[in-house]
Amino acid sequence: MIEVLYFAWVRERIGLPRERLDTQATTVAELVAELSAREERYALAFSDLSSLRVALDQELSSFDAPLAGVREVAFFPPMTGG
Amino acid sequence: MRLSVQAQAFDPGAETTAFTKTATGAGAVVTFTGLVRDNGGTLSAMEIEHYPGMTERAIATIMDQAVARWSLVDALVIHRHGRLAGGEPIMMVATAAPHRADAFAAAEFLMDYLKSRAPFWKKELGPDGATWVAAKDADEDALSRW
């Protein structure tokens, strides 16, 4: 099981702040493809990966990163702190 | 070193006084306070979302780098989340070092990294509804100078 979190407009588009998933995906990209195939709202949220960032266990990562051993995946737009 | 991610308001003056008092051995203290821009009076509120857990980890990592690179005596980061009104302080950074050049550089470094590496997202509420603030290419480019 993996915990998937969504923030900002990604959360609004998908309509959920977080969910627990049983997935066979071995990389972030595979997880994105799996989610996008599920429902239109996911496909919309993930339609332009260049406008998204991903964190694995609370560390910024990349879409080609492996998911082995990862407990928490978060998807969000580029950060706007400060 | 102190880091606080909080919903409640803070007083930048009181924070600066407290930070300065305990900065033993420092010859320079630099502070920066970021305010909510009211966009010419059209902003009704700003909402700041964050990623609890990752936010603290990301800021602590950035602070550790700043302290090591500029031999800081002390550093402080306060960043708010939740709903804020125009003109309110959003965040502040303070750095203390033996000499001012290091304190200034470290404060700028902390600001540049907080902008695009700490997981906060700003949403502006105005007359045309709610809009997520888009990240600027310039903010990402600013990291290359470090």
B11-32 pLDDT, tens digit per residue, is: 999 999 999 999 999 999 999 9
Q: Let me know if residue B141 belongs to a domain.
A: no
* Binary contact (A80, B120; C-beta < 8 A): yes
Say which CATH number the domain at B48 has: 3.90.1170.40
| Residues 6+ positions from B13 with CB-CB distance below 8 Å | none
Domain containing residue B37: 2-131
Q: Is the pLDDT of residue A67 over 90?
A: yes
Q: Let me know if residue B125 belongs to a domain.
A: yes
pLDDT in tens, A10-35: 999 999 999 999 999 999 999 999 99
Q: How many domains does chain B have?
A: 1
Q: Is the pLDDT of residue B1 over 90?
A: yes
Q: Let me know if residue B28 belongs to a domain.
A: yes
Q: Let me know if residue B146 belongs to a domain.
A: no
Interface confidence: ipTM more than 0.90: yes
Q: Let me know if residue B139 belongs to a domain.
A: no
Q: Output phi, psi for B50, to 5 deg.
A: -145, 175
Q: Is the pLDDT of residue B40 over 90?
A: no
In order of their start, the domains of chain A are 2-76 (3.10.20.30)
Q: What percent of chain B has pLDDT over 90?
A: 90
| Mean pLDDT of all residues in B106-128 | 95
- For residues A79 and B135, is the Cβ–Cβ distance under 8 A? yes
A73: its two tokens: 């995946």
**Cα distance from A59 to chain B (closest Cα, Å)?**
7
* Rounded (5°) CA angle A42-A44-A48: 110
Q: Let me know if residue B25 belongs to a domain.
A: yes
Q: Let me know if residue B144 belongs to a domain.
A: no
Best interface-test mutation with B: which of A51, A60, A80 has the largest number of B CBs within 10 A? A80
pTM: 0.94
Nearest CA in chain A to B120: A81
Say whether A66 sits in a helix, a strand or coil: strand
**Cα distance from A79 to chain B (closest Cα, Å)?**
5
Q: Is the pLDDT of residue B39 over 90?
A: no
